[in-house]
Amino acid sequence: MNNTPQPSFRIDPTLTLALAQASLAAYYDYEGKPFKIPDNYIYWTRFTGWDDWFSTYGEEERYGLIFKYVGPENVKNRFIVAFRGTSSISDLLRDAEFELAPFTPYRNSVSPAANVSTGFNGIYSTKGGNMQKTMQQQVFSVISQASEVLITGHSLGGALSQLFTLDMRISLPNVRIGTINFASPMVGDASWQAACNKAGATDRIIRVVNYWDLVPTYPWYVSGYISIGREFEMAFSSVLGSFDPLSDHSLLNYQTVLNNCVWLKTQVWIGHFIDAVYGIRMSSTAVPTLDKEKWLVPLREIHEMKRELLATPQTVESEIVLFEE
């Protein structure tokens, strides 16, 4: 029996696709490429973040975009804040920092204290090099007069979007917010969950995930981390049944499936498409009934075995003879 609850709600098609497009635009902006702006919005500004590693080296990188609403609805000061996901080696190093650290909001204070990933928190709240403001300070300086903020991100950007969601509920509690992110890893432990519940952030978050994507289960090898918000689950992967983590995680593939499923009554699309990563044939199906935890357990065991083997002292011969005469 599947212990993972199936989505008991519908996601808004227009909003979901607009936020997926905003998340994709943040990637393209990092790469210096032209990007498509969500319908009824205009580009407003970009923001940066700080990646450091080994407490010595670091660099400032483009991390996201802010768009302002100019559509037909009579809404003033509505913004989209979009965070990109992992795109550089320094991002990968930050992603691997799963020690916990207390989260500090832009204004006011968190109660109870919220412990979150030091890697995600470091990108969000620190500065270095020639940066004048942290990512947190940059974003809040732009949306301080907002009436509504829509928040999104993919992968690492999904984690940053969750930090920002809690920050908004604490720092600007009177501003309407909503978050739809894609393939977000877990951000913090039970204290993080409790803080989000108390601040009213949890029920503002929808996490769109692919059943076959491992990233939303990260860090599955670290105990204590907890997922928050409502989960809208899809299922797509290679028709060959091969393990293709990049394809299962690709935002372009998420976008393809969403473009087909969100308009359906069931919001489940059964069909095939071409993978955006390798060009292989992909299949979109109903979410399998097998509890994902059952195939995560062997992965945990392999991880622990590898960790123990690497930690075991090795004896190396002083001389190795490759060929004997």
Task: List, for residues 240-297, the tens digit of each pLDDT value.
Answer: 876 688 899 999 999 999 999 999 999 999 999 999 999 999 999 999 988 887 777 7
Task: Give the separation between CA 170 and CA 174, rounded to whole angstroms.
Answer: 9
pLDDT for 1 beyond 50: no
- Give me the phi and psi of 145, to 5 degrees please: -105, 15
Other CB atoms within a 10 A radius of the CB of residue 277 amount to 15
Average pLDDT, the chain: 88
Are the CB atoms for 99 and 172 separated by under 8 Å? no
Give the HSE-up count for residue 311: Cα atoms under 13 Å, Cβ half-sphere.
6
Distance CA 35, CA 284 (A): 26
* The two three-digit tokens of residue 128, written as one number: 């270095």
CATH topology of domain 13-234: Rossmann fold (3.40.50)
Q: What is the pLDDT of residues 14-50, one digit of tens each?
A: 999 999 999 999 999 999 999 999 999 999 999 999 8
Confidence of residue 94 (pLDDT cuts 50, 70, 90): low
Please count the other Cβ atoms lying within 10 Å of the Cβ belonging to residue 256: 21
Q: Output the furthest CA–CA distance in the chain (Å, rounded).
A: 86
Q: What is the pLDDT of residue 303?
A: 65
What CA–CA distance (Å, rounded) separates 162 from 167?
9
Q: Tens digit of pLDDT for each residue in 162-177? A: 999 999 999 999 999 9
Q: What is the pLDDT of residues 225-247, one digit of tens each?
A: 999 999 999 999 998 876 688 89
Nearest-5° Cα angle at 84, 71 to 287:
90
What six digits make up the tokens of 207? Answer: 């996490």
- Are the C-beta atoms of residues 201 and 172 closer than 8 Å to each other? no
Q: What is the pLDDT of residue 39?
A: 96
Q: Note the Cα 104 to chain centre separation in Å.
A: 20
Average pLDDT value for residue range 204-211:
97
- 232, 209 Cβ separation under 8 angstroms: yes
Distances (CA, A) of 182 to 28, 156, 206, 208: 16, 9, 9, 5
Q: What is the DSSP letter of 4?
A: S
Rounded Cα distance between 123 and 116, Å, is: 12
For the chain, the straight-line distance linking the first and the last C-alpha, in angstroms and rounded, comes to: 63
Amino acid at 194: A
pTM: 0.89
In the chain, what are the domain boundaries? 13-234
